[in-house]
Amino acid sequence: METAISRRELLGGGLATVVAISPFGRLALAEEPRKRDYIQIGNLQLEVINPSDTQTPNEYVDPSNTGTPLIKVPRNLIDENITENFNLGEFARVHDPKKLRGTGMEVHSHKGGIYYAFIRLDPKLPGELQTLRDALGHPIEINCHYRPITYNRRTKKSSPKSRHISGQAADIASHGFQAVLYRLADKQFANGGVGRYETFTHVDTRGDNKRWNG
């Protein structure tokens, strides 16, 4: 996994680069210009990626076709604040790396954590979570945001159309403030999903009101 990452980073820059080993064993570089698209999410300008430009396009399929962009998570932005109290890494963290075994997915290893090199992320979600955090007045932990297809399938009780696959969901917790967090989330995500679980609250930006107890 580490090799795949370094190659991608080495070949970054203004061009899409194709590397091929010629029959003579020499490294040949063929470059063709590629237009890059960026999207502003909170404080950060992030590159929008076509799944077919990754090594595992099938992992990034959005079963709900929400149109949520797949974005690149550059290693040097992992610790950068996307909003006042949340950094990009909190949305890109792989909480259980075992669930990615055998997928060949591109990830970053950073300060003892594993992070997706690409995630779907609804541009509205970080701002919604910041508003919620401001209302709560206490730190909110993101237990889980993005889940690619295989990771989701290996997650117990997850729906095959989970909004985590679409980049619209976060499982959040605030130690000692779970009840008030749920109550505020219920108000804040009036046009979204809110699930009440014993140790966390699920919130998502699906666009219509859904409530459940997990």
Nearer to Zn ion, 71 or 142 (CB): 142
Q: How far apart are CA 64 and CA 166, in angstroms?
A: 7
Q: Which residue is nearest to Zn ion (CB)?
A: 202
Q: Residue 58 Cβ, how far from Zn ion at the closest point, in Å? A: 22
Mark 141-180 with x for binding to Zn ion (rule: CB under 5 A) and - for no binding. ----------------------------x-x---------
Q: Residue 209 Cβ, how far from Zn ion at the closest point, in Å? A: 16
Q: How far apart are CA 81 and CA 79, in angstroms?
A: 7
Nearer to Zn ion, 43 or 178 (CB): 178
Residue 115's Cβ-side half-sphere holds a number of Cα atoms within 13 Å equal to 23
Q: How far apart are CA 86 and CA 77, in angstroms?
A: 12
Beta strands 37-41 and 27-33, pairing class = unpaired
Residue 202 in the binding site for Zn ion (CB under 5 A): yes
Q: How far apart are CA 185 and CA 190, in angstroms?
A: 8
Q: What torsion, rounded to 10 degrees, do the Cα atoms 191, 181, 199, 106 define?
A: 60
Q: Report the helix count and the strand count for the chain, using DSSP H and E.
A: 5, 13
Q: Residue 137 Cβ, how far from Zn ion at the closest point, in Å? A: 23
Of 22-30, 38-46, 176-184, 199-207, the segment contacting Zn ion by CB under 5 A is: 199-207
- Residues 6 or more apart in contact with residue 102 via CB below 8 angstroms: none
Nearer to Zn ion, 183 or 206 (CB): 206
Nearer to Zn ion, 128 or 171 (CB): 171
Q: Residue 201 Cβ, how far from Zn ion at the closest point, in Å? A: 9
Nearer to Zn ion, 7 or 210 (CB): 210
Residue 133 in the binding site for Zn ion (CB under 5 A): no
Residues that bind Zn ion (CB under 5 A): 169, 171, 202
